[in-house]
Amino acid sequence: MTQPVRRDRGQISGWAPLRELEELRDRMDRLMQTTFPFPARPLSETEEDPWAPLADVADTEDAYVMELELPGVKKDDVTVEVTDGELDIHGEVKDKERTGVLRRRTRRIGRFSYRTTLPRNADTDKITADLAHGVLTVRVPKVASSMPRRIEISD
């Protein structure tokens, strides 16, 4: 498909991939809002919809390990809770004081929330969380009785 050529004051303007990506994101956001117009719960006028941080989940032999990207977040601004087999991580990325004019912002700020249902073999009493270098690592051990073990066959 050929791209239309824009002419500004007699000159041909070039391709602006970042602008096109922003436009695509705006169109996708509008599509999602029209498809799912209502948030999970009503928001007050001053409250914005929380976003979910990027996360990796690994299933190791003895635990489930979740790593969430939270650059610039202090441990006092994050809460990790377990309720009825569901892990809930929420908090806030605060905007920092800036000097000068902010020309572009691509990093997210504001409230965030990450929720996941834990498997039945998760030991919720021994969950640990560690925040280092902008990555929150949550380790959910597996119950020892649910660990696979080899059973010898007798002759």
Mean pLDDT of the chain: 82
Rounded percentage of the chain residues whose pLDDT exceeds 90: 42
pLDDT tens figures, 88-138? 999 998 888 888 887 887 778 889 999 999 999 999 999 999 999 999 999
Cβ atoms of residues 72 and 135 within 8 Å: no
Cβ atoms of residues 70 and 53 within 8 Å: yes
The rounded distance, in Å, linking the Cα atoms of 122 and 142 is: 5
Confidence of residue 37 (pLDDT cuts 50, 70, 90): low
Residue type, position 98, single letter = R
HSE-CB for 28 with a 13 A CA cutoff: 6
pTM attached to this predicted model: 0.63
Cβ atoms of residues 80 and 148 within 8 Å: no
At 147 the pLDDT is 62
